[in-house]
Chain A
C-alpha cells in the first residue's frame, strides 16, 4: 500500500492550518460581530470561547486525524466503525461550501480588476447588485450566467485543481507558504495606511469601546462561540484531514494553540483595519460610524469600495484589499476541497490525480448555479443553512460521540505523548460539558428561529430546496456512503 503523503515540515503544516482557518469571515465577519456585541467587551466572551471551545476542538481534531492517519470518514470509522457517517457528513458540508465559496472569491477577484479604475463608480450598491451581479428578484429566478463571474470561478477552480493535483508537499504546503506571507504583508500595509487616516480613531473607538453590560447578555456569548466555530475551520473535517498528513512524531497541542492564536490575532488586526477605514469614511461623509458599519457581502463589496474611493491612492488600496480577500479565500478553499478529495481517496483507494481532476470538474459544474443572476440569493440561503444546521449540528455530534462514547483520554494521551506541552483534564471538561451545552443551545435556537420564520423572508420553495433539502440530504448521503465498502486497512 502506498505511504500516506506527509507535510515537509512543521512550519508547512502550521501555515496550511492557519491558511485554512483564516478566511473571508476573519475580515468581514469578526469586526462587525465585535462592534455589534459590546465592542471591546466582546473580547472577553470571545477569548473564553477560544479557550474553552476553539482550542479544545482543534486539538481534538488534530489528535484524531494524526492518530488514525485518515480523512474525516476514515478517522471516525477507525475510532468506531459505525461513526463513519459523521466523517462523511463533514465531507459533504465541505463539498457544499466549496461550490459556493469559490464564487464569492470570484467576486473578489473581479473586484481586484475593477480596482485599477475604480470601476464601481459613485453608486457602489447599484454597481454591485445591478451592474455586476445582475441580481434577479428571487432565488428561483436564475436567469443567465454572469460571464465575468463564470471566468473567475473557472480560474479559481483551475488554481485549486493545480494546487491539489500537486499533492500535500508540493501543492498545498508550497501554495500556503506563498499565500500566507503575502496575505500578512497586504494586511500590514493596509493596516498602516488605515490607522493613519483622518478619523481612524473614531472608527476604533466604535470597535473597541467596552460595553461591559453586554457580557450579561447570553446572545453575546453565543455570538462569540459562533464566531470561534465558524472562523477556525473546525467541525467540518479540515483539521482532521490536515493532521492526518503529519509525520509520526509531531506536536499536536502546541500546533493547535499556535493556529488558534494567530487566527484570532489576524481577526483583530483585520478589525482594526476595517474600522479605521470606516472611521475615515464616516468623517469624510459627516455621518456616524454606526451609519456605515456592516458585515459580510455588503461590507466588502458596497461599503469598503465606497470608502476606498475616498482614499488618496484609492486604486492601490483597492487592489490590496481585494487581493487579500482572494488569498484568504483561496487558502481556505484549498483546504475545504482537500477534505473531500482525501475522503474519496481513502474510501475508494483512488489515486490523488484522477480524484482531484474528477472532483474539481464536478465542483466547477455545480458552482455554475451560483454564477447565475440568482447566485447571491442562492449563496445567502445555502450558506445560512450549512452554517446553522450543517456545521453546528455536525460539530455537536462530533463532540458528543468523541467525548461521551469514546475514550477521550486516549486522544489526550496520544496528543500529550507527542506534544511540546501536555493538556490537563480541563480539556475533557470543555469537550464533555461546556462545548456540547453551547452547541446544543445554538442548534436548538437556530432550529426554532428558522421554523418560526423563513430565513430573510425568502419564498418557502427556495428555502426547502436550497436549505432544508440540502442539510437533510447530506445526512442521508452520509449514511449511504457508510454502507459502501469499509476501510479495509483497519488495524
Chain B
C-alpha cells in the first residue's frame, strides 16, 4: 500500500471513530457530571 492510501485510511477511521469517541465521552461526562 502506498503512503497516500495508508494516510487516507487512517484519516477515514480517525474522523469517524474519533468523532464518535469524542461525542460518547461528552455524553458520559455530562451523565456523570
Contacts and interface: CB of A to CB of B under 8 A. Distances in A.
Interface string B4-32: 11111101110111011001101100100
Contacts of B17: 261, 265
Nearest to A208: B5
B20 A208 contact: no
Interface in A248-285: 251, 254, 257-258, 261-262, 264-265, 268-269, 272
Interface of A: 10, 39-41, 43, 47, 201, 204-205, 207-210, 251, 254, 257-258, 261-262, 264-265, 268-269, 272, 420-421
Given A208-B1, A261-B19, A40 B26 contact: no
A283 to B, nearest CB: 14
A205 B23 contact: no
A208 B13 contact: no
Contact of A261 (B5, B6, B11, B16): B16
Contacts of B23: 254, 257-258, 261
The A interface, classified by DSSP as helix, strand, loop or mixed, is helix
B16 A264 contact: yes
Contact of B20 (A39, A47, A265, A272): A265
A355 B26 CA distance: 39
Contacts of B11: 40, 43
25 contacts: A40-B5, A40-B11, A40-B12, A41-B8, A43-B11, A204-B5, A205-B2, A208-B12, A210-B7, A251-B30, A254-B26, A254-B27, A257-B23, A258-B20, A258-B23, A258-B24, A261-B16, A261-B20, A262-B16, A262-B20, A264-B15, A265-B19, A265-B20, A269-B13, A420-B30
B27 A39 contact: no
Given A257-B23, A258-B24, A261-B20, A40 B13 contact: no
The B interface, classified by DSSP as helix, strand, loop or mixed, is helix
B4 A209 contact: yes
Given A39-B5, A47-B15, A254-B27, 13 more contacts: A41-B8, A204-B5, A208-B1, A208-B6, A208-B8, A208-B9, A209-B8, A257-B19, A258-B23, A261-B20, A265-B13, A265-B16, A420-B30
Contacts of A265: 13, 16-17, 19-20
Given A43-B11, A420-B26, A210 B5 contact: yes
Nearest to A209: B5
Nearest to A255: B27
Nearest to B31: A10
B5 to A, nearest CB: 4
A43 B12 CA distance: 7
Nearest to B28: A420
Nearest to A269: B13
B4 A268 contact: no
A40 B2 CA distance: 11
